[in-house]
Amino acid sequence: MHKLKLTNIIDILIKVLIVTFILLSIWFIGIKNTLSNPESYDIRTLSSISGMLLFLIIIKFVFKKNTNS
């Protein structure tokens, strides 16, 4: 039972790390675009806001899934 929980925690951590990496890369691309073209600052804001929302939704989903099983 304890071993199963540990593997679940590791699995969740891996998922969170992957999601964080993807979001950071999207955010970095947004910053790069903003630096090269200052007029497109709204793209960075949009990507960071959508990224934060996606991150919150995934965290909610992971915890919901974890509590159900």
The whole model's pTM is what?
0.43
Taking a C-beta distance cutoff of 8 angstroms, is the pair 30, 44 a contact? yes
Summarize pLDDT for 2-55 with one digit per residue, the tens. 666 778 888 888 888 888 888 778 777 767 766 676 665 566 677 777 777 888
Taking a C-beta distance cutoff of 8 angstroms, is the pair 12, 62 a contact? yes
Beta carbons within 8 Å of 33's beta carbon, 6+ residues apart: 40, 43, 44
